[in-house]
Amino acid sequence: MVKQTFLNLPKEKRERIIEIAIEEFASKPYTKASLSNIVNRAGIAKGSMYQYFEDKRALFRYLLELAAQEKLAFLKEAEVNSDVNFFETLEKVMLAGFRFNLAHPQLSRIVANAMEGTGEAVIQEFMMSGRKMACEYFMELLKRGQEGGEVSPDVNVRLTANLLNRILGEGLADYILEIMEVDLHEFLTKPEIAQNISEDTIKNIVNEAIRFLRNGLEAQS
Amino acid sequence: MVKQTFLNLPKEKRERIIEIAIEEFASKPYTKASLSNIVNRAGIAKGSMYQYFEDKRALFRYLLELAAQEKLAFLKEAEVNSDVNFFETLEKVMLAGFRFNLAHPQLSRIVANAMEGTGEAVIQEFMMSGRKMACEYFMELLKRGQEGGEVSPDVNVRLTANLLNRILGEGLADYILEIMEVDLHEFLTKPEIAQNISEDTIKNIVNEAIRFLRNGLEAQS
Amino acid sequence: MVKQTFLNLPKEKRERIIEIAIEEFASKPYTKASLSNIVNRAGIAKGSMYQYFEDKRALFRYLLELAAQEKLAFLKEAEVNSDVNFFETLEKVMLAGFRFNLAHPQLSRIVANAMEGTGEAVIQEFMMSGRKMACEYFMELLKRGQEGGEVSPDVNVRLTANLLNRILGEGLADYILEIMEVDLHEFLTKPEIAQNISEDTIKNIVNEAIRFLRNGLEAQS
Amino acid sequence: MVKQTFLNLPKEKRERIIEIAIEEFASKPYTKASLSNIVNRAGIAKGSMYQYFEDKRALFRYLLELAAQEKLAFLKEAEVNSDVNFFETLEKVMLAGFRFNLAHPQLSRIVANAMEGTGEAVIQEFMMSGRKMACEYFMELLKRGQEGGEVSPDVNVRLTANLLNRILGEGLADYILEIMEVDLHEFLTKPEIAQNISEDTIKNIVNEAIRFLRNGLEAQS
DNA sequence: CATGAATGAGCATTCATTCAT
DNA sequence: AATGAATGAATGCTCATTCAT
């Protein structure tokens, strides 16, 4: 759906377009985001956008894929290794997600926008499949945790996977806004806010959340 | 923002308009929901809508207020009494929320739509204040729980309140769709699906979630 | 497909819009005819057009229906009475068609434009059904002519109906342009040309055509 | 207007391009036919088309010329010899036209599309001159027929030429569709339909038409 | 208080054509 | 000669909102 034409573009131009598109889609819901705005700000012709992407949906989807890639990069960076310890793994996943949120608040916002309905079937399917994958990952993790004796055999794997998904995805994001005493718009437009949150703060939050989860899920010895 | 004119309307007409508006706003994102659609289906004049509500935002906000009222009614019905026992209270709150979700899937959907950006500042503020109130309620609950010795003094009250908010609001909703093996559209348009979920199922889910939370939050004796 | 709104318009305004629309659709093929042009020239808002007609197709179809009505009026005027004499009837039909062509050259042109493909299925179906009706009318006429002994029993009714349809519809129109030594554009934009063709000329042409047909079809005594 | 560049192309490539262009222009009206479609399907660069043809009009005109050539080939094949007998000549011309129609339904369709307005002056002039030539040919034929005593001296040569032109061009085409009980789209996309019409059927139709014309035009002995 | 026509900015999208490489 | 990215005017259409009746 992205066209080769776009990928052939000089890196600088490509990135400027993406940056502006991200700003547009992060600052308003999908239907209000305007291609005209984007092309005007990017200084390119309206028609060019259609040489780069099949249509509005395709551009949006490209941004979502980009967000997914970027998040994956953070997970790689965190050296998540699902094979060892359940709670350790969970902590790493949380940390990675958290860091991604702070490093790319606008991309995170786009994902959130996409979650709650753009009115476009294609996008919805894409998000659903993403959510499914995430849930399956958590389910797999929980099952292994149960097999390894770390996670109580009593926990409902599917239910918990869903809760984890929501908690990790957005529960923590809400908390950030609250402790920073900032509203969403400020958070998105003033990058220094996100950047000034120290690694310590992040780790503390994650630790507390993990402790909470550990008690809730851990097998009683 | 609702005008007196609307409230003076014969009950029947008022309810028909609201019902149709709910369907419209539940089935598509705010920006795609169309007043024209609503007035056509309701068989009233376009201009009349503007006698009833200041503008599109005001109508939407009215629906949100209605959802809030309705949810409150479910909470009342559940005889939530914050004074007694923390986990019991939490369970009642969850049950009430759950039942509201199943009784009014479309209203729930509207609330979800409103959460993630209508692009309208007024709506956003309204939602933020709602979220704040909910969080403050949970914080209050948690603090009393700590004072009463039920909740561990170690839990971060604010963080936990945020997590509870997300878990109760949407985490369970996702789970429902998953176990029913239904997609959102089906769930919204086929009321029998929601109605056929037995009280037992609901109670089981809530129990599992509560057990999970109890372990995570309970003071170790 | 025309909306009541349009029909409620003050006659003057309605007619101005139609006149301008006819000019637009007569002067270029359907796809090149532009709603923007029409509304600009008519001095109405773009949106208003959509209060009057469902879409471009509906406007065009309305013009086609108008042409049909107008032609019918000419047929009525000619006191066509299919019951009497075949060749007399045919002559009257021809005369009526001819007079319609000269009185409404632009409407005739719109019909011709519609014949050869607008690329719109709805329009195509409409035209096909029109053609079918015309052919059936001629077939009926021919059959009665055969029963009455005027038309040779040897003539292939269906084939002849098709030929008559084409001859009456457009064959004569071509001839007009040729004898007037005028091109289509002049003919459409200078109404005086069509108006200056005398009744005598018309009758002569029709007579010659009828004589030609009479010989071709008449039963040999 | 065709550029030498195109003519220098390897035959195979040239023919593929033409074939695809014919499909495009036969399946939709001139203004809706899209060069982008053509080049994509042909696997050539957009710019190349402009090395081959001056513009869209030039390509279309080239197809029209090709149709003319092809039709001429059918006339040659039919060994039309205007010198001998009027009605025999007419029959041969009709047969040739008929066979061309069935052998190249798409080319025929392009010609029909071109007749009723592409909105391009150049094309219109081209078609007009074609029509003029055809009419002049028929006039010449009729005059000789009159001189030879076959055709009644009373027939209006110019009028009849126009009628013949329409009858031979499209009147018969309509009839085909009708007896085949096929619509235009089927006829264009399913070549077997045209091919399955037997020589006998063709000859019968032509004979009937000729008999009709013979009666209408023949000098009474 | 109801009506519903009028408005016009705004939108996504298409397309023939140009031109630098 | 071939390419294919760039262009931007133009198009049909939608919609919240206004306002005269």
Residue C31's pLDDT is: 95
CB–CB contact D171 C170 (8 Å): no
d(CA A63, CA A54): 14
Listed range (A13-17, A132-136, B40-44, B117-121) with the worst mean pLDDT: B117-121
Give the mean pLDDT of B11-23.
96
Residue B220's pLDDT is: 58
Listed range (A80-84, A152-156, D101-105) with the worst mean pLDDT: A80-84
Provide the token pair at B148.
């009463």
Query: Contacts of residue C217 in chain D, CB cutoff 8 Å?
Result: 212, 215-216
Query: Contacts of residue D135 in chain C, CB cutoff 8 Å?
Result: 178
Listed range (A18-32, B6-20, B158-172, C109-123) with the worst mean pLDDT: B158-172
Provide the token pair at C148.
């009455």
Give the mean pLDDT of B174-201.
87
d(CA B160, CA D50): 67
**Residues D114-142 pLDDT 10s:** 987 798 999 999 999 999 999 999 999 99
Average of per-residue pLDDT values in chain B: 89
Listed range (A97-101, B140-144, D41-45, D80-84) with the worst mean pLDDT: D80-84
C-beta within 7 A of nucleic chain E, residues 102-131 of D: none
Residue A219's pLDDT is: 62
- Helix (H/G/I), strand (E/B), else coil: D151: strand
Give the mean pLDDT of C169-174.
78
Give the mean pLDDT of C114-127.
90
CB contact, 8 Å: B168 with chain A? no
**A43 pLDDT tier (thresholds 50, 70, 90):** very high
| Residue C195, CB, strand E, below 7 Å | no
Which of A125, A135, A166, A180 is most worth mutating to test chain B (most B CB atoms within 10 A of its CB)?
A: A166
Residue B217's pLDDT is: 61
Residue B194's pLDDT is: 86
Percent of chain A past pLDDT 70, that is, above it, reads 97
> What are the CA-CA distances from residue B82 to residues A169, B87, B143, B146, B211 (Å)?
29, 10, 11, 13, 19
Give the mean pLDDT of D21-48.
95
Q: Is the pLDDT at C219 greater than 80, yes or no? A: no
| Residue A122, CB, strand E, below 7 Å | no
Half-sphere exposure of B213 (CA within 13 A, CB side): 26
Residue B170's pLDDT is: 73
Provide the token pair at D217.
């035009």
Q: Is the pLDDT at A218 greater than 70, yes or no? A: no
> Which CATH superfamily includes the segment(s) B66-217?
Tetracycline Repressor, domain 2 (1.10.357.10)
Please measure the distance between the N-terminal and C-terminal CA atoms of chain C and give it in whole angstroms: 52
Residue A26's pLDDT is: 95
Give C105's contacts (C-beta < 8 A, 6+ positions apart). C26, C187, C188, C191, C194
Which of D24, D27, D31 is most worth mutating to test chain C (most C CB atoms within 10 A of its CB)?
A: D31
Residue D16's pLDDT is: 96
Half-sphere exposure of D145 (CA within 13 A, CB side): 28
Residue C221's pLDDT is: 55
Residue D185's pLDDT is: 86
Distance of CA B134 to the CA centre of its chain: 11
CB–CB contact B171 A155 (8 Å): no
**Would you list the DSSP string of chain A?**
-B-HHHHHS-HHHHHHHHHHHHHHHHHS-TTT--HHHHHHHHT--HHHHHHHBSSHHHHHHHHHHHHHHHHHHHHHHTT--TTS-HHHHHHHHHHHHHHHHHH-HHHHHHHHHHHT--S-HHHHHHHHHHHHHHHHHHHHHHHHHHHTTSB-TTS-HHHHHHHHHHIIIIIHHHHHHHHHT--HHHHHH-HHHHHTS-HHHHHHHHHHHHHHHHHHHBPP-
Q: Is the pLDDT at B123 greater than 60, yes or no? A: yes
Query: Contacts of residue A179 in chain B, CB cutoff 8 Å?
Result: 158
> Smallest CA–C1' separation from D51: which nucleotide?
F1
Q: Which residue has the tokens 């080239």?
A: D62
Domain locations in chain A as residue ranges: 63-217
- Please indicate whether residue C59 or residue D209 has the higher confidence score (pLDDT): C59
User: Nearest to residue B116, comparing CAs of B102, B106, B105, B131?
Assistant: B131
Residues 86-125 in D contacting C (C-alpha not used; CB under 8 Å):
112-113, 115-119, 124
Residue C210 burial (10 A CB sphere; 0-12, 13-18, 19+)? middle
Q: Is the pLDDT at A62 greater than 60, yes or no? A: yes
Q: Is the pLDDT at A179 greater than 70, yes or no? A: yes
DSSP code at position D219? P
Residues 180-199 in A contacting B (C-alpha not used; CB under 8 Å):
183-184
**Amino acid letter at C159?**
L
Residue C76's pLDDT is: 92
Give the mean pLDDT of C4-16.
95
* Interchain contact B/C (3 or more Cβ pairs less than 8 Å): no
**Would you list the DSSP string of B87-107?**
HHHHHHHHHHHHHHHHH-HHH
Q: Is the pLDDT at D15 greater than 90, yes or no? A: yes
Residue C74's pLDDT is: 94
Give D7's contacts (C-beta < 8 A, 6+ positions apart). D14
Q: Is the pLDDT at A162 greater than 70, yes or no? A: yes
Residue D33's pLDDT is: 95
Q: Is the pLDDT at C83 greater than 80, yes or no? A: no
CATH topology of domain A63-217: Tetracycline Repressor; domain 2 (1.10.357)
d(CA A18, CA A40): 13
Residues 127-156 in C contacting D (C-alpha not used; CB under 8 Å):
128, 131, 135, 154-156
Q: Which residue has the tokens 């457009």?
A: C170
- Helix (H/G/I), strand (E/B), else coil: D54: coil
Residue B221's pLDDT is: 53
**B12 pLDDT tier (thresholds 50, 70, 90):** very high
Q: Is the pLDDT at C163 greater than 80, yes or no? A: yes
CATH of range C65-217; options 2.130.10.10, 3.60.20.10, 1.20.1530.20, 1.10.357.10:
1.10.357.10
- Helix (H/G/I), strand (E/B), else coil: D205: helix
Nearest to D217 among C167, C212, C217 (CB): C212
| Residue C220, CB, strand E, below 7 Å | no
Residue A181's pLDDT is: 86
**Amino acid letter at B86?**
F
Query: Contacts of residue A217 in chain B, CB cutoff 8 Å?
Result: 212, 215-216
Which of D151, D180, D215 is most worth mutating to test chain C (most C CB atoms within 10 A of its CB)?
A: D215
Interatomic separation, CA of residue D5 and C1' of nucleotide E20, rounded (Å): 20
Q: Is the pLDDT at C173 greater than 60, yes or no? A: yes
**What is the sign of the dihedral through the CA atoms of D112, D114, D115 and D118?**
positive
